[in-house]
Structure 1
Amino acid sequence: MQTTQPDAPRPWVASYPDGIAWDAPIDTTPVHEQVLAACRKNPSGMALDFLGGTTSFAQLARAIEAFAGALQKEFGVTKGSRVALMLPNTPFYPIAYYAVLRAGGTVVNCNPLYTVTELSHITGSAGADIMVTLDLQQIFEKAEALLSVGHVKDLIVCHFPNALPLVKKLLFSIAKRKDLANPRKSAQASRVAYFDDLLTRGHQPEAVSIDPHTDIAVQQYTGGTTGLPKGALLTHANIAANMSQIDKWGCGLFYPPSKVVAVLPFFHIFAMTVCMNVPLCNGTPVVMLPRFELKALLDLLTRTRANVLPAVPTLLAAIARSEATKPEQLASLEVAISGGAALADEVRHSFGKKSKALLAEGYGLTEASPVVCCAALRKPSRPMSIGMPLPGTDIRFVDVDTGEVVGTGQDGELQVKGPQVMAGYYADEEATRAAFVDGWLRTGDVGHIDEDGYVFLVDRIKDLIICSGFNVYPRTIEEALMGHDAVEEVNVIGVPDDYRGEAPVAFVKLRDGQSIDAHGLKLWLADKLNKIEMPREIIFKDALPRTLIGKLSKKELREEYAQTKRKAP
C-alpha cells in the first residue's frame, strides 16, 4: 500500500488539469472482477476486434469463466499457481489472462520472440508448470522445447486460425497452412491440451478469496538489459491501482465511444495495462494487431476509426516518416500516448505534421505496474516533459553521489512511492533491498522537476558517461543529432578513453537517399554541443539494434564496439 508521507511537497498538484484530484480514492478491486463486471454491464457491446473478427463482452465473459474452470478442475490451478502466457495479441490472450486471475493463479508473461534459453530462465525461475501458447510453428516449437526439458509440465495450445474472421480463416488454412504446427504429432503430445476443447467442457470456476494487497496477480519479468531478467511481483492492488490512476488521468478518454488500438504486445507491461486492462474494464473496445506493420495499422485505423493509440517512439517515427502515411488515415486519432522510451523532439514534430492528435509522453517501469508520470491527455503539456505524477503518486529526485534530496531544477535519480509500486522481486531479497531506499523505489533514471511540477528526464544512470570528471548524457547528444535532416536514428554509448576516462560514441542511421560524413555531422554539432559532449566517433550503420519491443538498444552496441576494438590490430 502507499506509504507516502502526508506532508511531502507536491508542486505538480497545482498544475493538474481541471477535474483531477491527486488524493482521489484509488480503486484496488482485482482486475478480473472489474472486467467481468464490465461484461455484465454491456453484454452485447464489442470487446475485441482482431483483424475484423469481433468478440462481444458476453462472449468474453463466457470464455473467461469456462477457461478459469478448466484451469482449476483439470490442471489444479489455485491461489499462487504460476501460469505462463506465450501469446501474441489475439483474443486468446485477454481470455487466458483474466481466466488465470479468476482461477486464483498468477500470470507470467513470456515474449514469443525470446530464445528458448531466455524462456527457460523465466519459466524455471517462476515455477510455471503450465504454459498457454499458439500452434504457429515458430512459437509452438519453443513451447515444445520447454516441455521436453521439463521447464513446463503442460501446454495448452490455441489454434490460431480460430481467432480469425471466417474468410481470413479459410484463406489462412489454404495459403499459410505450412506456418502451423501439428501438436498432435509432437513427441510431447500426451502433455498437450487444446484451448477450444477446454472451453467446450463448460467447467464453472470456484470462488477464490483474493487479498488484493498481498496476493500476486502478475509476475512480470524485467527486460534484462543489466543481467538476467528479474520477476517483479505485482499484486492485484498494484495492477488495479495503476488502472484507477490512469482512468482518472484520462478524464473519460478510456470510456465508450472510444476505441483503443493494441498494436503493442499485451505481454509487455505498458500494453497490458494501457491497451487492455484499462479500456476493457471500462467497457471500451480494444482493436488488435498481432504485430506492427505500418500498412496494417493504417488500414486498421481507417476501418475502425479508433481514437486512442498507445505507442513506442519507434512506432510513432515509422508513422511520421513514411510517405505512405496520409493525414486522412490518422484523422480519427484524438490521442497518441508515447511510452517505453524517450520521445525525441524530432519525432514529436514529424508526427505533428501527419496527425492532429494530441501526442502525450508518459513514463513508467515494470516495477510500477507501470505508469508513474504522464503528460495531460486532454490538453497540450509542457514540451519535452514526461508530464506529472499520476494521482496518488509521489516522486523525489536524489543526488546520485550523496543520496540527498535535490531541489527544484536540479538533476538527480527519480524515486517513486505509490500504490502501483511492486511488492518486490520474486525469490530475490538482495535485488529487492537494492531497489528501494527508505521505502522509495529507485528507478535508475536521472532528471529533475520544475517549479510547476513538470518532470523532465535526462538519461539512465547506467548510461551516464563520465568524461574528464564531467557528466555527459547520451540523450543530449542524441537529441542534437536527431535535429539534422539527414539523420533518421541515433544511439550514443560511452566507451573507455585513455585520456578522458570515457568518451561518447554515436551510432547513426541515415534517412534513405541522404548522405553526410562524420566530419560534416561534427561541424554541424559544433554550436550545439560543448567539447566534452562532442562524440569521439560517429559510426554509420544500416540498422541500429533494438530490444524485442522496439526500443533502441545500447547493450548490443557496447558489445559490438568492444568486440571490434579487441579485433583491431
Structure 2
Amino acid sequence: MGVELTKRWFEHYPEEVPKTIEYDNKPLHEFLVETATNYPDKTAIHFMGKELTYQEVYDAAKKFASYLQYLGLKKGDRVAVMLPNTPQSVISYYGALLAGGVVVQTNPLYTERELEYQLKDSGAKIIVCLDILLPRAENVKDDTYLENIIVTAIKDYLPFPKNLIYPFIQKREYNMVVKPEHSGDTHVWTTMLEEASGEYTKHEVDPEEDLALLQYTGGTTGYPKGVMLTHLNLVSNTQMCEKWNYKAEYGKETVLGILPFFHVYGMTAVMNLSVMMAQKMILVPKFDVDTVLKLIDKQRPTLFPGAPTIYIGLLNHPKLSNYDLSSINACLSGSAPLPAEVQQQFEKVTGGKLVEGYGLTESSPVTHSNLIYENRRAGTIGLPWPDTDAKVFKPDTLEEMPIGEVGEIAVKGPQIMKGYWNRPEETENTLKDGWLLTGDMGYMDEEGYFYIVDRKKDMIIAGGFNIYPREVEEVLYENELIAEAVVAGIPDPYRGETVKAYVVLKEGADLTEEGLDQYCRENLAAFKVPKRYEFRTELPKTAVGKILRRKLVDEEKEKLQNQV
C-alpha cells in the first residue's frame, strides 16, 4: 500500500480528544434504552410546540417494536421509514431496531419510480409513511415486497389547537386530505399505538456483523446503492462525534434538527448523538428560513449541525439582525464544501464556532473535521477523527502519493461500511484491503490537514487542463453579490468540456454576465475562467441541501441532443 506516512494529524489534537476510543460493543438502540433509564424526564423532542420526554419516546418505540413483530417482522427484515423530521421518525427508527429489523431510510420526496426502485432493491416488507404519501406507497406496493403500510400524520404529534388546524393547512398546501382506515394491510399510527402491547421479543445482536441500516447513496452519479451499515459502524461514529465536540455536556444541550434523518449525516450528528447524550432535539420537518430564525431565537439551541446552503439561507435573510442567534456554540457543516466567507460571517453573527467536516454515506458518515475550538483552517476538511486512518492514493494503483500531491482520498476505521447491498462487484471496487476509496480527489499537507479539490467524477478536463469546480466556486462565493454558485463541466465540441457557472444573486444585487466574467478573470487562471454563465433564481438540491451538479450537466446534454 505504499510508504507509511506518519499520522501527523495527532500533533494537533487537543488533550481532550483521544487518539483512540474504546467503543461500546452494543446494539445502536441501546442508546435509547440507556438514556430513557438515566434521563427519563429529560425532553427528547420539541416539535412545533409539542414536547416528548425520553421515557415517552422509548415507550412508543417499544409499542412500535411489538406491533412490527405482531405483523410478522423477523430479525433482519427491512423496514422502510419514509418520514421528514417528526417524532414518528425517531420512534419508528429505534422501534424497528428494537424489533430486530434493519431500517431503510427513505426520502419522502421520492417519486413513485424512485420509491419502487428502493423498495424492490432493499426488499422492505413494511413501510412507515405520512398520510399524504400513502397514495404513492399504495401505487408501488404490488410491484415490491411490501406487505404492510403504517401511516401517520403530522397532526398526530401537534399540540391543541394546532392538531385541529393542520388538516386545513395540509389541504391548502397539498390539495389533498387522506383519511386512511385501520384495516387489512394498512395500519393507522394512532390506532397502532393504542393496540400495541409494548412487549416484544429481544434478539441477540452481533454489533460488528448485524446490519442496523441500509442507507441509500444519493444517486447523483448513477443508481442509488444500499450501503450496509452495522450497529458498530453507527455506534462508533456517534461516539467519535461526542469525543470531537468535547465541550458538549450530557443532558444539557439543545440541538437544532434541520438536517433530515433520512440522510446519514442528520441521522448520526443529530438523532443518534442526541439520543446517546440525552440532548433535546428541535425537529424541523421542512427548512424555512423564517421558521428557523424564530426557533433559534425562542428555543436557544446550542448545537446546529447543518449544510452550507442552510447557513447561507439564514445569512441572506433581510431581517437577520432582528433575531438573537447567540445561543449557538458549535456547528459542524457537512454534505458540501463550506465557503470561507460563509464560515466567517456565520461566526460573526452567532459568536459560535462553525467548522467544515467531511464524510460519506459509506462511512456512517464522518471521517474528518476541523477542530471546533482550536487550530481551525479555512478551505480544509480538517483532520481524521480518532481511530480513522486516511491516505491519498494514486488513482487506480493504490500507490500512496507524496505530501501535497493530489490523489484519491481513502479512509479506514470502525465506521466504514460492510459493503453495498447485493453488489459484491461494486463492494470489491470500493473497499480495498479495508480502505474505502472515496472517489474524492484531494491531498494532505505537511501537518496532516486534508483538502478536497473535487469529486473524481466532477473534475473538468478542458483542452487538456484539469479544472476542479470547487476552486472556481470558492472564487465565486467571495463575490459579495452572489448568494449561491455551482460550477460544472459541460460538453464542448472544441475543448471536450468547458466550464459553466450557475449563479444565484443576492436579493437586489446587480451583476451582469460581463461584470462576473471580469471578476473571474481577475481571480482565476485563464483556463479556469467559466466560458459560460447562467443566472438562476434557485439551484437544484438534494434534501440535505447539496447542490445537484450532475442534474445541471444532464440538462446541458439534453439541450445538445435536442439541437441535433
- For Structure 1 versus Structure 2, the TM-score category normalised by the shorter chain is over 0.9
Tell me the secondary structure at the aligned position of residue 266 of structure 1: coil
CA shift in 2, pair 1:53/1:175, >3 Å: same
Q: Deviations over 1:241-294 (max 9, x none)?
A: 101111111114262311111011111100001110011111111111111111
Tell me if 1:341 matches 2:336.
yes
Look up the match of 1:152: 146
Aligned to 1:166: 160
Q: Is the 8 A contact 1:388 1:455 kept in 2?
A: yes
- Letter matched to residue 118 of structure 2: I
The answer to whether 1:140 aligns with 2:137 is no
The Cα shift of 1:7 comes to: 7.1
Match of 2:190 in 1: 196
- CA–CA separation in structure 2 for the residues paired with 1:568 and 1:351: 44
User: Structure 1-normalised TM-score?
Assistant: 0.94
Q: How does 1:158-237 map to 2 (within 5 A)?
A: 158-173=152-167, 175-176=169-170, 179-184=176-181, 190-200=184-194, 201-237=196-232
Relative to structure 1, is the Cα distance of residues 100 and 327 closer, same or farther in structure 2, using a 3 angstrom cutoff? same
The equivalent of 2:42 in structure 1 is: 45
Q: Do the aligned partners of 1:309 and 1:336 also contact (CA within 8 Å) in 2? A: yes
Change (3 A) 1:21 1:150: closer
Confirm or deny: 8 A CA contact 1:492 1:507 kept in the other structure. Answer: yes
Deviations 1:275-321 (A, max 9, x none): 10011111111111111111111121122111100111100000111
Any conservation in 1 of the 2:180–2:188 contact (CA below 8 Å)?
A: no
> Counterparts of 1:372-411 in structure 2 under 5 Å?
372-379=367-374, 381-400=376-395, 402-411=397-406
- Structure 2 spans left out of the alignment, 5+ residues: none
Greater Cα offset, 171-180 or 533-542? 171-180
Question: 1:45–1:542: structure 2 CA closer, same or farther, 3 Å change rule?
Answer: closer
- CA drift at 1:452: 1.7
Quick one: which of 478, 492, 497 aligns to 1:497? 492
CA contact (8 A) 1:86 1:131 kept: yes
CA distance in 1, matches of 2:249, 2:513: 46
What amino acid is aligned across from residue 160 of structure 1 in structure 2? I
Which AA in structure 2 matches 1:337?
L
**C-alpha distance in 1 between matches for 2:322 and 2:389:** 39
Aligned to 2:24: 27
Partner of 1:395: helix, strand, or coil? strand
Matched, 1:56 2:53: yes
Who is 1:128 aligned against? 124
Tell me the CA shift for residue 394 of structure 1: 0.3
Deviations 1:333-392 (A, max 9, x none): 111211111111232233234221100111110000001111122335112221111101
The one of 500, 504, 515 equivalent to 1:520 is 515
Corresponding pairs, count: 560
Q: Do the aligned partners of 1:31 and 1:281 also contact (CA within 8 Å) in 2?
A: no
Equivalent of 2:351, from 344, 352, 356? 356
1: distance between equivalents of 2:249 and 2:305?
Answer: 12
Code of the residue aligned with 1:166 in structure 2: it is F
Q: How many Å separate the matches in 1 of 2:552 and 2:400?
A: 33
CA distance in structure 1 between the aligned counterparts of 2:550 and 2:294, rounded to whole angstroms: 35
Classify the secondary structure of the residue corresponding to 1:190. coil
Partners of 1:511 and 1:29 in 2: how far apart? Answer: 48
Q: Which residue of 1 aligns with 2:438?
A: 443
Cα distance in 1 for residues equivalent to 2:485 and 2:198 = 53
Q: CA RMSD of the aligned region, Å?
A: 2.0
Residue in 2 aligned with 1:75? Answer: 71
When normalised by structure 2's length, the TM-score is 0.95
- The answer to which of 92-101 and 166-175 deviates more is 166-175
Structure 2: distance between partners of 1:232 and 1:254: 31
- The match for 2:82 is 86
Letter in 1 for 2:86: T
* CA apart distance, 1:13: 0.6
1:474-489 aligned at under 5 Å gives the runs 474-489=469-484
Q: Do the aligned partners of 1:247 and 1:254 also contact (CA within 8 Å) in 2? A: no
The answer to whether the 8 Å contact 2:123/2:144 transfers is no
- Given that residues 88 and 290 in structure 1 are in contact (C-alpha distance below 8 angstroms), is that contact kept between their aligned partners in structure 2? yes
Distance in 2 of aligned mates of 1:40 and 1:147: 38
CA distance in 1, matches of 2:535, 2:168: 43
CA contact (8 A) 1:84 1:110 kept: yes
Does the 8 A contact of 1:261 with 1:310 survive in 2? Answer: yes
* CA offset digits 1:13-55 (Å, max 9, x no partner): 1111221121232234222012111100111111111112111
Query: Does structure 2 retain, via aligned residues, the 8 Å contact 1:321–1:350?
Result: no
Secondary structure at the aligned position of 1:379 is classed as coil
State the percentage of identical aligned residues. Answer: 35
User: Is the 2:42–2:251 contact (alpha carbons within 8 Å) kept by the matching residues of 1?
Assistant: no
Alpha-carbon separation, structure 1, partners of 2:403 and 2:248: 31
Task: Give yes or no for the alignment of 1:273 onto 2:255.
Answer: no
Following superposition, the deviation at residue 519 of structure 1 comes to: 2.4
Give the counterpart of 2:408 among 392, 409, 413. 413
One-letter identity of the residue aligned with 1:159: A
